Amino acid sequence: MLLTPELAAMFPTLGEHDEPYSWSLFEVGTQPSGCLIAIGTLEEEGGRNRELKVRVVDVTRLGWHRLVMTSLGRFSGSGVKLTDGFVEVIHPRLRAQGIGTLVFNVVTAWAQRTFPGVAVDPITLVRPDTAAQFDRLTRFYGRFGFAWDRPADGWGRHFPSKPMTVDALKQYPEELLADVRRVDLTAGLTAMIDRMLEADDDRRMIAVLRDQLNERRDRWRTIGYRLNLLGYGIAALAGFGAARALFLL
């Protein structure tokens, strides 16, 4: 099936990144403020280092405005690092809707699949200003198994998470994200193709019925023409008989 140029332009292309990302689609938020996002992943390996690049784009926008978030997972031989230090959705309108959780699910799943039993580099919370901010950050990362000792003497320091291994990581269930809906692209395209085939079958059936109706109409026209000729003949004979009867009188 060929996509129209309008539909094709909505999806990320290799020309934008020059790298073969694998993409998953999600509906995020509620209409009309929601959007369709794509989460792309790319695994790379070089020497002892292995990386997972993550890119999130808003497929309803064009250009650089479509970039929503980036993330990174990395193994350098001693431990697995699950964040590049910047875990934030760029566009304020898309924050607090579950995109960060989706991305961290992707990174932790990569670590669990690739490096079981390996140590995880601590995530350090940098200068949380208040207890509320500290609690918000630890609650988010706590979804994935990270834990912190609560500071007892102020909020002006760096706070690394407790030691852990990849085996202690957890996934946060997507079904608990009220504003996120995964889009099954394969099923959607299959249903679309099925509808197209059904429509094509309907068109062929309509064409057959139209031909049959035309054939019947032409047949009845022929029969009517013949009946008319027969009628004319009968009328002529009747007229000839009447005229002869009058002549005999």
65 residue type, one letter: H
- The predicted pLDDT at position 199 comes to 66
26 CB burial (10 A radius; 0-12, 13-18, 19+): buried
Which segments of the chain does DSSP mark as H helices, in order? 5-8, 14-17, 99-114, 131-142, 185-248
Tokens of 162: 């407790």
Judged by DSSP in three states, 133 sits in helix
Residues 107 and 186: beta-carbon distance below 8 Å:
no
Q: Is the dihedral of CA 132, 137, 142, 145 positive or negative?
A: negative
- The predicted pLDDT at position 230 comes to 55
What are the b/e assignments for 39-62, b being 16+ CB within 10 Å? bbbeeeeeeeebbbbbbbbbbeee
- The predicted pLDDT at position 121 comes to 94
Judged by DSSP in three states, 143 sits in coil
DSSP character string of 174-240: GGG-TTEEEE-HHHHHHHHHHHHHHHHHHHHHHHHHHHHHHHHHHHHHHHHHHHHHHHHHHHHHHHH
CA–CA separation, 170 and 53 (whole Å)? 20
Tokens of 153: 């003497």
Per-residue pLDDT of the chain (249 residues), as tens digits, is 344 555 555 555 544 555 678 888 898 887 666 788 889 999 988 767 899 999 999 887 776 678 899 999 999 888 999 987 777 888 888 888 899 999 999 999 999 999 999 999 999 888 776 778 888 889 999 999 999 987 766 666 788 999 999 999 999 999 999 889 888 766 655 665 566 667 666 777 777 777 777 777 666 666 555 555 555 555 555 554 555 554 445
- Every domain of the chain and the residues it spans: 5-122+163-183, 196-249
